């Protein structure tokens, strides 16, 4: 067998059923084998960045390892953003890039780049294969590393002579041998006991969970723990859907654009139990202001996260599912208490609100509210990045994990559409909805064609305010409304120092996204006023294939609540 | 409070592993004073010794981040451990003349430095020893005029330790 055949065989043995990618010179030997492969589906995207985000969306929505196959040089470098996105959100993908022949490495050959050096800091681990005999071991290791412990992306660079190289007596290894990599699964029993005791003594305990609970598939255990102890819970962007949006103990997403109840609970609790989270700055605000009088417990599979940002009293390293099961055994039942009443009161007193524009124009929050009425309750929502992402996080009605996918750590614009494509291929019986802004949708707009041609039925909602909304919001609130280069329709005819849109703004919505959708082989619908929203949603969601629904929303709507950067969670801005 | 720490990283001897370690530290903005890496008696194992000047909290993160790498087998901060033999190596080129040559050679004798080359106006020496010994030697020969020197950075090996039961165990 040659390297290309071994590669495909290895992928098959790792349970791969879909590969996302784009060919090129040095990967033709691999594509030659793929030509006759029937049991692994290959999705040809229109940009390697799209392929990487698609593999990522596939991974996040299925829990399996996403696979991306690209060529050397520019093909490989086009995956950098996608790999970094997956790294920041601990998403398991394997990115296989072609490379020039081993003898030509280092000579600045055609389409040569040092992918091994480039990806070092943005992946969990990487490989440059120098000999075809190492290929089987490396494939097995790559998948093992990607999916175990704290999941993450693995990059494999495959020179063309390795793909063409022949291996006699090929066997796929039975086991991995990684003396330096032994993820801890079971937590320390004494620490778990300590946590159970702390829970028994706490007056105001609070659960704070995130992406790690989703990776660990521990949503059920969280629900069981809450059932037994009635501890209220806040869930980060990466964990939304761990508990249903309407669960009585769910206080909402915490942090910069989180719910007031969630942030108040973070400030007032006396025991903070972080599970599968990393105490990111979007949640904590300045570190010296966070959890000052609280006992902090931190359960995480990655020991380097514990104590990284916040001093921790009860650290427990291990897999969330294992640890939660042990904790549920040890912990004593707790009835609802005055703390529950207090947190529920906050929920009622501080609901999400927005100012309804009286003139019939469209509030973006309204679009999401109406989407909730028409979308499938089992739908997967994939967001892009920015204000659209925050409104989706606040208003969508998530009920299960792996139903809300978002680029949280890196905040990559252009993630939404290709990731939704990947999620759709991984979940063919599930409605997949992409929520994006007009800025983000343009960043990987070429994937509209991929959706149409391959009949991937993604339902795309574009909240169009013709602005780079989130940046404009910051300029609005903190930079004296100096809207520097955020207006996506600013023309040379505009006044030189614009501080906001007016009725007589020159220029129009460019591009015409409905026409772009049609040019790419799918239908496009547009709502320009509140009255049109429902029918656009109904028509769009009823389409069998992919569809783009555009909503002209209020140009200068801001996301609230907001805790601005550098401010503690006690200083919440509620509205304009 | 910033302190110098010597950290030994035992890694799988894979291609590019030294670049990985250095890259990780530079990516996180840590202050590396010296790095020395070489294969060991086991061809599959490579040892890297680092001297890092950082705060206590950063050192904790450095150790954890290094441990996290797939290639890393073990990380040991040996800075406050007594049971390690720590050495460094230096080559120095010093100005010397007929008048002060004798004084210089007395120092060389005391410090057990080794002359490699002697010329009318300069001398080249090599020396192995602890960082403290080398630092002190440099102080003492500075008045002669140091033209150039090159230091290796520290590397270390665990001594034998006897446990309470009298068993011999390696520290590292």
| CA distances to A138, A375, A396, A541 from A378, in Å | 37, 8, 12, 14
Instruction: For residue A459, give both structure tokens.
Output: 């339902």
The 10 Å Cβ neighbour count of residue B121 is 11
- Does the bond joining A561 to the residue before it have cis omega, within 30 degrees of 0? yes
User: In which band, very low, low, confident or very high, does the pLDDT at B167 lie, cut at 50, 70 and 90?
Assistant: low
Q: Which of A116, A304, A307 sits opposite B16 (nearest CB)?
A: A116
From chain B, pick out residues whose CB is under 8 angstroms from the CB of A303.
Answer: 64, 67-68
- Tell me the per-residue pLDDT of B129-158, one tens digit each, with 9 for 90 and over: 999 999 999 999 999 999 999 999 998 888
Residue B162: predicted pLDDT: 62
| Chain B: residue whose CA lies nearest to A310 | B57
Q: Hey, is the C-beta of B65 within 8 angstroms of any chain A C-beta?
A: yes
**What phi and psi values does residue B136 have, to the nearest 5 degrees?**
-65, -40
Residue A352: predicted pLDDT: 96
Answer yes or no: is pLDDT of A175 > 80: yes
The answer to whether the Cβ–Cβ distance between B70 and A125 falls below 8 Å is yes
Residue B80: predicted pLDDT: 81
- Tell me the per-residue pLDDT of B45-73, one tens digit each, with 9 for 90 and over: 999 999 999 998 899 999 999 999 999 99
The 10 Å Cβ neighbour count of residue A64 is 20
- Tell me the per-residue pLDDT of A361-392, one tens digit each, with 9 for 90 and over: 999 999 999 999 999 999 999 999 999 999 99
Answer yes or no: is pLDDT of A45 > 50: yes
Answer yes or no: is pLDDT of B164 > 80: no
User: In which band, very low, low, confident or very high, does the pLDDT at A481 lie, cut at 50, 70 and 90?
Assistant: very high
Tell me the shortest Cα–Cα distance from B151 to chain A, in angstroms. Answer: 27
| Chain B: residue whose CA lies nearest to A119 | B20
Q: Which long-range contacts (CB under 8 A, 24 or more apart) does A126-130 make?
A: A126/A154, A126/A155, A126/A156, A126/A157, A127/A154, A127/A155, A127/A156, A127/A157, A128/A99, A128/A157, A128/A159, A128/B15, A128/B16, A129/A156, A129/A157, A129/A158, A129/A159, A129/A162, A130/A102, A130/A159, A130/A162, A130/B15
Instruction: Choose, out of B48, B70, B73, the residue to mutate when testing the contact with A (most A CBs < 10 Å).
Output: B70
- Tell me the per-residue pLDDT of A122-157, one tens digit each, with 9 for 90 and over: 999 999 999 999 999 999 999 999 999 999 999 999
Mean pLDDT over the full length of chain B: 90
- Tell me the per-residue pLDDT of A290-344, one tens digit each, with 9 for 90 and over: 998 899 999 999 999 998 889 899 999 999 999 999 999 999 999 999 999 999 9
Provide the ipTM.
0.87
Answer yes or no: is pLDDT of A514 > 80: yes
The answer to whether the Cβ–Cβ distance between A180 and B15 falls below 8 Å is no
Mean pLDDT of B118-130: 94
Q: Which residue has the tokens 């992306």?
A: A153
- Tell me the per-residue pLDDT of A30-43, one tens digit each, with 9 for 90 and over: 999 999 999 999 99
Residue A220: predicted pLDDT: 98
The answer to whether the Cβ–Cβ distance between B73 and A120 falls below 8 Å is no
Residue A496: predicted pLDDT: 81
Mean pLDDT of B150-170: 75
pTM: 0.95
Residue B172: predicted pLDDT: 47
Mean pLDDT of A231-254: 98
Answer yes or no: is pLDDT of A193 > 80: yes
Q: Hey, is the C-beta of B128 within 8 angstroms of any chain A C-beta?
A: no
């Amino acid at each position: 067998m040659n390297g290309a055949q071994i590669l495909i065989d290895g992928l098959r043995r790792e349970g791969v059923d879909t590969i996302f990618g784009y060919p090129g010179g040095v990967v033709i030997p691999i594509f030659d084998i793929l030509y006759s492969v029937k049991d692994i589906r290959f999705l040809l995207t229109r940009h390697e960045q799209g392929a990487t985000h698609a593999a990522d969306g596939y991974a996040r929505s299925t829990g399996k390892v996403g696979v991306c196959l690209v060529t050397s040089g520019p093909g490989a470098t086009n995956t950098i953003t996608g790999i970094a996105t997956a790294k920041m959100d601990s998403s398991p993908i394997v990115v296989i890039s072609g490379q020039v022949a081993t003898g030509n490495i280092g000579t600045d050959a055609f389409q040569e780049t040092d992918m091994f050096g480039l990806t070092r800091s943005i992946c969990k681990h990487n490989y440059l294969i120098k000999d075809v005999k190492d290929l089987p071991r490396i494939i097995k290791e790559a998948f093992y590393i990607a999916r175990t412990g704290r999941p993450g992306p693995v990059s494999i660079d495959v020179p063309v002579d390795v793909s063409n190289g022949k291996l006699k007596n090929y066997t796929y290894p039975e086991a991995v041998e990684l003396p330096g990599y032994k993820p801890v699964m079971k937590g320390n029993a004494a620490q778990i006991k300590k946590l159970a005791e702390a829970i028994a003594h706490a007056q105001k305990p609070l659960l704070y969970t995130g992406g790690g609970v989703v990776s660990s598939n521990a949503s059920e255990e969280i629900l069981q723990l809450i059932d037994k102890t009635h501890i209220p819970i806040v869930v980060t962007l990466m964990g939304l859907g761990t508990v249903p949006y309407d669960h009585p103990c769910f206080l909402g997403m915490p942090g910069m654009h989180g719910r007031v109840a969630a942030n108040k609970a973070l400030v007032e609790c006396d025991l903070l139990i972080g599970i599968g989270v990393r105490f990111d700055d979007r949640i904590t605000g300045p570190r010296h202001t966070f959890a000052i009088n609280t006992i902090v417990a931190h359960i995480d599979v990655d020991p380097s996260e514990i104590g990284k940002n916040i001093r921790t009293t009860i650290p427990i390293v291990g897999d969330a599912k294992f640890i939660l099961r042990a904790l549920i055994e040890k912990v004593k039942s707790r009835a609802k208490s005055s703390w529950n009443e207090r947190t529920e009161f906050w929920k009622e007193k501080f609901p999400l609100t927005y100012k309804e524009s009286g003139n019939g124009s469209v509030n973006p929050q309204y679009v999401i509210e109406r989407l909730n009425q028409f979308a499938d309750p089992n739908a997967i929502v994939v967001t892009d990045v920015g204000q659209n992402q925050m409104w989706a996080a606040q208003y969508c009605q998530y009920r299960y994990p792996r139903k809300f996918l978002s680029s949280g750590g890196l905040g990559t614009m252009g993630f939404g559409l290709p990731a939704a494509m990947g999620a759709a291929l991984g979940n063919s019986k599930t409605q997949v909805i992409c929520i994006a802004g007009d800025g983000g949708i343009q960043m990987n707009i070429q994937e509209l064609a991929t959706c149409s041609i391959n009949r991937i039925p993604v339902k795309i909602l574009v909240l169009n305010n013709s602005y780079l909304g989130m940046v404009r919001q910051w300029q609005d609130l903190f930079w004296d409304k100096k809207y520097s280069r955020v207006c996506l329709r600013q023309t040379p005819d505009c006044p030189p120092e614009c501080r906001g849109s007016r009725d007589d703004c020159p220029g129009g919505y460019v591009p015409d996204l409905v026409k772009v959708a049609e040019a790419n082989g799918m239908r496009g619908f547009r709502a320009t006023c509140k009255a049109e929203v429902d029918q656009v949603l109904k028509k769009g969601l009823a389409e069998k294939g992919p569809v783009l629904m555009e909503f002209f929303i209020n140009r200068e709507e801001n996301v609230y609540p907001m805790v601005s950067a550098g401010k503690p969670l006690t200083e919440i801005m509620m509205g304009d | 409070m910033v302190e110098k720490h010597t950290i030994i990283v035992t890694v799988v001897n894979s291609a590019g592993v030294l670049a990985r370690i250095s890259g990780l530290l530079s990516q996180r903005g840590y202050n590396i004073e010296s790095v020395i890496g070489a294969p060991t008696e086991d061809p599959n194992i490579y040892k890297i010794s680092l001297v890092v000047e950082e705060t206590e909290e950063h050192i904790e993160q450095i150790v954890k981040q290094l441990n996290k790498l797939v290639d890393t087998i073990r990380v040991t901060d040996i800075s406050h451990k007594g049971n390690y033999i720590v050495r460094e190596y230096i080559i120095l080129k010093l100005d010397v003349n007929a008048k002060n040559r004798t004084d210089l050679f007395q120092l060389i004798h005391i410090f057990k430095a080794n002359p490699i080359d002697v010329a009318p106006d300069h001398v080249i020496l090599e020396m192995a020893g602890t960082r403290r010994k080398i630092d002190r030697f440099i102080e003492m020969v500075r008045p002669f005029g140091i033209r150039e020197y090159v230091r290796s950075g520290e590397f270390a090996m665990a001594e034998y330790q006897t446990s309470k039961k009298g068993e011999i165990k390696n520290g590292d």
